[in-house]
Structure 1
Amino acid sequence: MVKAVQSARGVEGGRTDITINKIFPLTFTINLGNKECFVSVGLVKPRGDGGDEPGGGGHSCAAGRGMLQRSDQLDKVDQYRRREARKKASVEARLKAAIQSQLDGVRTGLTQLHTALVDVKEIQSSLGDVSKDWRQSINTIENLKDVKDAVVQHSQLASAVENLKNIFSVPEIVASTQQLIEQADLLQAHRKLMELESSRDDLMYEQYRMDSKNTSDMHLISIYFEDVQGLSDELAKQLWMVLQRAMVTVRRDPTMLVSAVRIIEREEKIDRRMVDRKRQTDFIPPGRPKRWKDKCFRFFSLYHNAVSTRVTELAAEDLEANEIVSLLTWVLNTYKSSEMMGHPELSAECDINSLEPLLPQDVVDELLSKYIQTFTSNITGWLRKALETDKKDWQKETEPEADQDGYYQTTLPAIVFQNHLNELLTRKWLGGSHAVDTICVTVEDYFNDFNKIKNPFNKEMTGEALRRVVVEYLKAVMQKRITFKNADERRDGADRMIKEAEQFKFLFSKLAAGEDTDRLCGAITAIAEVFKLTDPTLLYLEVSTLVSKYPDIREEHVQALLAVRGDASREMRQMIIAL
């Protein structure tokens, strides 16, 4: 390969010097007007640039290898040289700017350090002045001890003056409070008791602050207010009596029970305040903390045990099936619900999960077994009577009932299945009914008996069964048996509808119902999407999609769907129907 390099040290109008790598000694000179260029076959090493050696002028050599590979490119040597010079100048300018930026940063840092040093010296000087002033004022502070004692004494006297009215009227207030307790006016009695306790506690606290070792004055205050503790004990007895008769009191005089709870809450707040002050001053009044709240919730477990005993007695009786359902529903669901023991305000005070179950598990299992046996027996007896009635009807001399097409029919299947169909789209259904499961199992069981029927009769029968099931399901929707109360119920109901549509689809696909399976079951899913929609403003679009997919939907059907949703106003329903 022919390689050439022109030295950057040439002068205008003179000869350009180059250094030839002597691997190949063959060289020749090309005259370019007023310049000459030596060209060599081999590697070229410009003088002073380092050539291709590490750390040398590899850039120039690379430029030569990339630019001067043919003889007709030699006339562009000046152009290449100027371009490389511009690149070099650009690199040098960027390097200079970077170094200048670093220097500016160092200069700024040095300036800030100098400012910080000056500030530190000023602070050091100020601290020295403060220390000097403090040493000079020690004697002055010691001379103010008398003033400090006077301030403490003034605080004590101010507290005494503030409570002077109560101090002089303590016997009168004690008698009035005792009378209120006897009259069962617990709230007013507790208000006066708090006034007495506040006066006593303030006086004792000021005495403690002035001279904590002076027990004689503290004892004198305690003797003067000794009846206050007796009133507190008497009020506590009244509260415990109210709580012990809570089951009766809540029916006869619920305000009395509410008053007792309020008093206990007040005392709990005072206990917390006194405990906090004890952490700060190491002083706590006599009789504190009372812990009435802890004593109150001791009755919680007693009531629970009493209820458990009564429920166990009821479970031991000869209960009917509906009575067993009511008892188990109350024990397993209602008792621990947010309406009773699981109430948020109550759960913050006592953990219901820490209590024993109302009924032992073996008793619950026994009741469930008894209910299943009783229910099975009732169903068997009812079916037997229904069959006997149907048999008698068919044995009569009159013609059997006929449907709208004139075919004879029996109403027995309708009577049997109507109970399950009536559960669809109801509150019971939303809470977890197994009606659809029962329908699917029964249909599949019947088709096992008809599996030998040949096509197209089997397919026609399966398609008709699917159509009847979907029609009954959609009737349940249109009959507005349920109105969803909130978005959560709408979501749960829609999810349940989608799940049950998938059950129907799976069952009848297995039974070979034909191509109508997806279309018919899809109607249930499409209606569920209307219920599931969270933004009411998009109802029009969802209803429009439903109508375009199923054109036979009528106006009353749309009204029924919006009524079941429960969140569409009258104006919105009219607007959707009008559009």
Structure 2
Amino acid sequence: MGMSAEDEHTVSPKDEEWPEAEKAEKLARGAALKWASGVFYRPEKLEALGQYRSRETQRNSSIQSRLKSTVQSYLEGVSTGLEQLRLAAEEVQNVCQDLGAARWALLDSADYFQVLQQMRALMAEHVQLASVVKVLPQLFSVHEVFSHTLQLLHEQHLLEAHAELMMLEHLRDDILFQLHLRGLSSAQATVLSYFSGLQELNESLAKQLWGIVGRSLQLVREDPVLFVSAVRIIEREEKIDDALLLDATFLPPGRPKGWRQKFYHVFQETITGSHFHPACVDTTGPGLSRHLAALQRDVVAELHVVKDLMVQCVPAHYNILSICTAMYHQALTSHLQDILQEDLDKQALFLLLEWVLHVYHSPEMMSHPGLLPEVDVSALGPLISPDLVDQTERKYVVKLKASMLEWMQRTLEVEFKEWFREEEPEADHQGFFQSALPVIIMQMLHENIRVASLITGSLQQKVYSMAMEELEAFLGRLREALVQCGKEHQKDRTVPKYYVPYLLAVLNNNLALSSSVPSLHLDTAHSEVPVSLRAALDRTQRKACQLLLEELLLDLQPLCTQLPSRKWLSGSQVVSSMCEVIDKYAKDFSHVRKPIFMLLLMESERLVTSQYLWALMQKKMVCRTEEERGQLCDRLLQDATQLRELFHGLGLDKSQQSLEAVFALRELICLKDPALLSLEVLGFITKYPDISDEHVSTLLDLRGDVSKEVRHMVLEMMAQHPQALPESYQPIFSIIVVPAPELPFCLRKGKCA
């Protein structure tokens, strides 16, 4: 099993050339030793040593035999390959010898090829002459065929005429192609001149075809044969065009004709020319309405003809219904854009918006049951762009604004004239004065906003915003009219005769407008009166109230000038007369609704208070004795009580009255000890912080018993305790003007030395 030491050292030169073999042998020996040491590590295993030796000997013999068989097979394959290579080399050498011989044979035959070239030229010329002879009958008959084809065209035998035309063109084009192949371009002009009649035939045929296409909508209803013939001819020409373009080696003159594209072009021109002439359209409201109605009727009718009849007369790949629908859509788009360039009135603008946004897509037009589902304009985009719709809406609002302004102005003029009527304004069932102005204004605004909502929400919002602005402007003009009426009344208080009732009617109207404005917005749940409009309504209300109070003031002033006086102290009926005036006006005020009535009552009471206080501070009387001061206190108590009870009886709670200032002022007059005036005035200015030094000084003068020291002390105390007006304080004294003190005569004249 192993090798001896001698064997290991006896290594052949061949083994030295294969170090890998030596390495493999060493590895095999090592593996064998490892195996043997594992098997025979016990003595009893040595008994089976002979069996192992015998088995390993047989195994080695088997491996050697297989190795010999493999090597033998490999050597046989190598031998076969070498034999095949030898045979291939012999065959290649034979081929080379044959090629050399052929080369020498060809070189010897070069002179004979020149003779063959001449024969080839003669053969080509013979073929050409044969081709010419073959087509000579056709060439001689060309002009006769021209005449016959023209006759066929005049008789509208289109298919036969077109067949002859194609034959002539084929003959011409074949001749031109042959010339083109041989580079004889100079001869092409002669051929074209000879076939010049083809141009006339083409033009004559095309003229008839486009005339037929122009009348196609009529022909498919009456006699579709002619139209079908025209379409067949167009398709023949398209096939010829396609074949020539596909070859692309030679393109005859006049090709490609592109008659199918021309068919669409003529068809579109027919559609555009038959209905869409903006220069001939009456753009006024009624005229445009008739035009749009005619468009609606004609477009629907013609699309029905295309869908029901024309589709059957043209190939399916024409997609004629969809293309026709797109043509009408595009033509309408251009037509409407042209119309919108004109200076349209508001009715015309409204009609266009309604037609574009609603009628066009309605079941009465493009969504007609007879056209669906084949006709679908939804994929064609809007008839006019959103920007143009917005621009048109703005134009409509501008026109509507001008109309609304004019209409409101006339309404105001009528209202102004009614103020000067010789009869009271109308009254409702509750006796409140009113006029038709709020109803007229609100109906007009509401109707215009409602009509705009039928178009789009954006137009409704635009009209609503414009209506709010115009109503605000109208209220401004109404105030100007009130001022003008007031000026007329100041000149002559008998004009207008029913000045106060009409002012009350204006207040009721203003209140009605204020309560009705929220209803103008269609979303009444979220509608609010715009701030600027609310301010305009408030200003109108204040202006009417101011004029009423000025009227009341004119009647009160003559009475207020009678006090204070000693006649008044002794029991004058001045305040009773004032109460009569107030009661009279209160009865007039009862014709205005309660919120305004209470406002007028409160303002009237404040006016009476301020006038009463103003009269006391005009320095027309000074109490000379204690008795007069007592009479003044009694008179102030009686007057203030009488006035307070009057207003309380009219519905004005005592806590809402400002007459309390008269009672507080009375306390200053009734104070027995002038030295205590500082404390009393401090309480007074705390309650009425808008009273000034001049007011207090005048009241001290009215007492007649205040020394300069006390006066100085009181005024000094006021200077030390300046008062700030509370936010909710209603001024009383600040609106009362105290007359300036009389200056010494020398200062008045400016001559004191």
Give TM class, smaller chain.
Answer: 0.3 to 0.5
Larger CA Rg, structure 1 vs 2:
2
TM-score, normalised by the number of residues in structure 1: 0.43
Higher helix share: 2
